[in-house]
Amino acid sequence: MCYHGKTLFFCRKSREMRNGGKFMEKVSDYFGSLVFDDRVMKANLSDRVYKSLKKTIDEGAKLDISVANAVATAMKDWAVAHGATHYTHWFQPLTGITAEKHDSFISPSPDGGVIMEFSGKELIKGEPDASSFPSGGLRATFEARGYTAWDPTSYAFIKGKTLCIPTAFCSYGGEALDKKTPLLRSMEALSKQAVRILKLFGNDSVKCVRTSVGPEQEYFLITKEMYDMRPDLRFTGRTLFGAKSPKGQEMDDHYFGVIKPRVAAYMEELNNELWKLGILAKTEHNEVAPAQHELAPIYTTTNIATDHNQLMMEIMQKVAAKHGLVCLLHEKPFAGVNGSGKHNNWSLTTDAGVNLLSPGETPYENAQFLLFLCAVIKAVDDYQDLLRLSVATAGNDHRLGANEAPPAVVSMFLGDELNAVLEAIESGTPYAGAEKTQMKLGVNVLPKFNRDTTDRNRTSPFAFTGNKFEFRMLGSSNSIACANMMLNSAVAESLKIYADRLEGAEDFENALHEMIRKTIKDHKRIIFNGNGYDDDWIKEATENRGLLNYRTTPDCMPHLLDKKNVDMLTSHRVFSEAELKSRCEIMLDNYCKSVLIEANTMVDMARTQIAPAIEAYTLKIAKTAAAKKALDASLACRYESELVKKLSVLTDRIWEKVEELEKAVASLCEAEDIISQSYEIRDNILSKMSELRASCDEAETLTDKSYWPFPTYGDLLFGVR
């Protein structure tokens, strides 16, 4: 019996033994154990404080300082009981990763000791020295102060020994310096317009509409030993050199394949860590490329999904390190095999839990569904440029338009059934479904869409998948905030136009029908149900349909400041004009810096590792030939002399290309503004980088492997055993 400490220890130990050295608990017992969630709030706050906080969370009501103090104390007590000693305002600056500055809870007590303290003021507002975060000119460095403001809709959590409080990050003038602020604003804008529409359909009880997202995250796992040997992976997250491995993904034997024990152990620990943080990690499988995997959580409200995705990416890397692995989140870590994306599954749900993108049971609900569907169609067509640029990074430029990812042209897939319904509405002809009925909104019931027919197309950038849309252009390392703030804003704009029109209509049903018809007519060019990877489609899209094809970040990013985009985003108060200017500058600056780091890394690797390795091997071959000839002067030594010749030509070419690249990088610094710098990179530097790579990769295929200074593609892609 376990009635005193010693026996208890023994009992626990024997249980550990039974479970292969691990103490096992049920997932439901520890799910969310590191989160200050609703269950914890209910248990630790007085009824008055809890209700008041809930009002703030659910309805955005202002928070009273006495309530904030009570919440702060409860949060601190709970965190300290879980071993926390510090707290941080956790935020997402425009660097793309999360930031935190830790403060301990300690406060001196008169008796020389300390007490643990945390006030409502400290919970609500923080003042990090913001001077080193990118602001794109919004805040001069001497005006370094920015502040963080608590986002009570995303739960606080414990990471290590620190209580993390999700916050928004602004300058003292109130301009957003982060990704969360505009995301929250876009959610509010969308909710406002969607509620107007729902009221028109007689839903008087709706208070708000939320967007939900389930992001499917792709990643690569490689061994830490090999990673450490490659400066390109360490400095840039992707390989800048590497000849093709004899085997790649051509056998399709990795996708959904058996998960190797080492990877399975990683996934198990990762799930546990994510579950403790209340992240609904659900699906995991091997992806198409060797060493590539995917993890998808169950969807949740967009700002929480964004926080969770950032946290997930961080934990994925931390857990990998514990397993002697490295998790690569770059969009294109290896040339020649698939890159990694992040599918953004997105839908709209009322506060009563009704999914507005799900076809309903009654004709009236169907008309409402079609209206929301049309709002998305119109939004995607009108703001193709914003959607494209919301996923633009130097890394994702290598993926979009490569053969495994959606092209850089934005289009939508609806599936045959829904498409037939829309065509019938547009032309006023009978819908050729089972009953061959004339589609009259508000009268006919829509057919039930078979999920299989809506989910078949894997090549579309923006696909309807039965009750949600899947935006597939996001890169694996992107924060999902950017794509969602643009998507939400664009849809808010469509809904606003609809609501303005319908609120003033004399005959609601007629006006509704006409509006849906007009949307289909005006925007059907964006709908494409064929193969998005096909070259013919790009021709058709750009030449006949007039769709945009922004292939690179410098091509699309400046369009953030196009008048129509600025007007739309400022009218919904998602961004101010100054914020947009600063963002455009920061995104282009990130692009330029990322590529320049790559270029410098290439110069360094080629000069100090690759060329010397080829030289050493060439010398060995030359010496072998000389030794052979000394033994027998009649030997031709063709193998040696041809190889020496080939390698010498390649070394010279590498030398030349390194010089050219270095010169191009040096002259870039003279370009006067960031846009011309980015064009110079797009048109000149990137091609010089590929030329240098081509010579080095060719040399790799001719050089004795034992001389090559770092692991090859074959080693990296098939190294985790």
- Rounded distance, CA 59 to CA 164, Å? 23
**Tokens 């290590």 map to which residue?**
160
Which of residues 399 and 688 has its CB atom nearest to ligand ADP in the complex?
399
Spell 54-71 as b/e; 16+ CB within 10 A means b.
Answer: bebbeeeeebeeebbbbb
Which of positions 339-368 make contact with Mg ion (CB under 5 A)?
Answer: 343
Among 296-304, 359-367, 427-435, 710-718, which window interacts with ligand ADP (CB under 6 A)? 296-304
Q: How far is the CB of 220 from ligand ADP (least distance, A)?
A: 18
Q: How many residues of this chain interact with ligand ADP, rule: CB under 6 A? A: 16
Pick 122 or 218: Cβ nearer Mg ion: 218
Q: Give whichever of 84 and 463 is closer to ligand ADP, judged by the CB atom.
A: 463
First to last CA, the chain: 44
CB count in 10 Å sphere of residue 565:
21
Q: Tell me which residue has its CB nearest to ligand ADP.
A: 214
From 178, 165, 226, 184, select the one nearest 60 (Cα to Cα).
Answer: 184
For the CB of residue 343, give the shortest distance to Mg ion in the complex, in Å.
4
Binding mask 349-368 for ligand ADP (x = CB under 6 A): ------x-------------
- Residue 242 Rama label (left phi>0; alpha psi -120 to 50; beta): left
Q: Which residue, 467 or 624, is less far from ligand ADP as judged by CB?
A: 467
Q: Choose, by CB under 6 A, the member of 114, 298, 432, 649 that binds ligand ADP.
A: 298
Choose the stretch contacting ligand ADP; rule: CB under 6 A; options: 389-397, 465-473, 645-653, 694-702.
Answer: 465-473
Pick from 73, 154, 245, 345: which binds ligand ADP (CB under 6 A)?
A: 345
Q: How far is the CB of 460 from Mg ion (least distance, A)?
A: 11
- Quote the least distance from Cβ 400 to Mg ion, whole Å: 17
Helices then strands, counting H and E runs in the chain, come out as 27, 18
Please list the alpha-helical segments (H only) found in 258-411.
261-276, 302-322, 363-382, 384-389, 394-397
Cβ distance to Mg ion smaller for residue 133 or 469: 469
Q: Taking the complex as a whole, how short is the minimal distance between the CB of residue 209 and ligand ADP, in angstroms?
A: 13
Which of 119, 301, 437, 467 touches ligand ADP (CB under 6 A)? 467
Is the torsion defined by CA of 220, 223, 224, 230 positive or negative?
Answer: negative
Residue with smaller CB distance to Mg ion, 139 or 343 = 343
3-class secondary structure for 188-251? Answer: HHHHHHHHHHHHHCCCCCCCCEEEEEEEEEEEEEEEHHHHHCCHHHHHHCCCCCCCCCCCCCCC
Question: Which listed range, 44-52, 90-98, 236-244, 338-346, lies at the site for Mg ion (CB under 5 A)?
Answer: 338-346
By the rule CB under 6 A, 468 interacts with ligand ADP? yes
Q: Length of the chain, please?
A: 721
Candidates 173-181, 295-303, 366-374, 488-496; binding stretch for ligand ADP (CB under 6 A): 295-303
Measure the CA–CA gap between 483 and 400, rounded to whole angstroms.
15
> What is the pattern of x (binds ligand ADP, CB under 6 A) and - over residues 159-198?
----------------------------------------
Pick 216 or 385: Cβ nearer ligand ADP? 216
Taking each helix axis from N to C terminus, what angle separates 611-631 and 638-668, rounded to the nearest 10 degrees?
160
Using DSSP's 3-state secondary structure scheme, residue 589 falls into: helix
Judged by CB under 6 A, the residue of 198, 296, 599, 605 near ligand ADP is 296
C-alpha–C-alpha distance, residues 401 and 413, integer Å: 17
Q: Which residues bind Mg ion (CB under 5 A)?
A: 343
Q: Which residues bind ligand ADP (CB under 6 A)?
A: 212-214, 216, 296-299, 345-347, 355, 455, 465, 467-468
